[in-house]
């Protein structure tokens, strides 16, 4: 089957010897952490000759798949702002490594296309954050109760030692003073010494 060439849009190709496309792309290889429901902005900086037509794309690589980011049909989810990809209403399944890419439409040579290093997006669901907050509060409360119990234990032990010392002192004074009616009654209650 012969296809007429006139059905296709003509593509202008530059000679490889004269190919200086002037395309430069920089994407930080950062890790961005977010919680479900938040938004994220993934930066990508491109410098190019504005006299040329350029295509700009985003790809996401996930644990089990990869695909291009659909900026046209999912405008509520994705948007571009100066080539940075904004993602709204994040969910855990948005986690992945996002690569920006740029290529000239009318140039086929080395340097006419660039792909970023990739920015990693990690999204954790809200429940995990609530669990961590509750866990932190529980551990803090447990530590506070433990500290109070330790202080009370020390008070009771100190009170018992003081009571023992008073008892020994009173025994000695009773031996020296036979007219004394008996040892003073000292008792430890709630960590405090009560004299009677």
What is the DSSP code string of 104-150? Answer: ESS--STTSEEE---EEEEEE-HHHHHHHHHHHHHHHHHHHHHHHHH
99's tokens: 């690569």
Kindly state the average pLDDT of the residues 36-60: 87
pLDDT at 187 over 70: no
When pLDDT is cut at 50, 70 and 90, the band that residue 41 belongs to is very high
My answer on whether 101 and 35 are in the same domain is yes
My answer on whether 116 and 148 are in the same domain is no
Domain extent at residue 190: 131-195
Residue 41 to residues 26, 65, 99, 118, Cα–Cα distance (Å): 15, 22, 13, 13
Q: In this predicted structure, what is the pLDDT of residue 51?
A: 73
My answer on whether 89 and 105 are in the same domain is yes
My answer on whether 110 and 16 are in the same domain is yes
**What's the DSSP call for residue 7?**
G
- This prediction has a pTM of 0.55
Three-class SS state of 50:
coil
């Amino acid at each position: 089957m012969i296809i007429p060439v006139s059905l296709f849009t003509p593509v202008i190709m530059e000679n490889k010897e004269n190919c200086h496309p002037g395309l430069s792309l920089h994407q930080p290889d950062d890790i961005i952490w977010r919680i479900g429901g938040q938004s994220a902005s993934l930066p990508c900086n491109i410098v190019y000759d504005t006299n040329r037509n350029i295509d700009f794309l985003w790809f996401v690589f996930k644990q089990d798949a990869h695909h291009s980011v659909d900026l046209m049909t999912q405008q509520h989810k994705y948007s571009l702002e100066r080539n940075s990809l904004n993602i709204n209403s994040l969910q855990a399944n948005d986690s992945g490594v996002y690569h920006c890419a740029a290529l000239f439409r009318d140039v086929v040579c080395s340097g006419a296309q660039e792909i970023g290093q990739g920015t990693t997006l990690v999204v954790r669901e809200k429940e995990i954050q609530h669990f961590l907050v509750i866990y932190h509060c529980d551990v803090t409360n447990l530590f506070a109760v433990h500290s109070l119990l330790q202080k009370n234990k020390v008070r009771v032990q100190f009170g018992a030692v003081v009571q023992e010392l008073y008892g020994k002192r009173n025994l000695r004074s009773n031996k020296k003073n036979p007219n004394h009616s008996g040892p003073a009654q000292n008792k430890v209650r709630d960590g405090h010494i009560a004299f009677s």
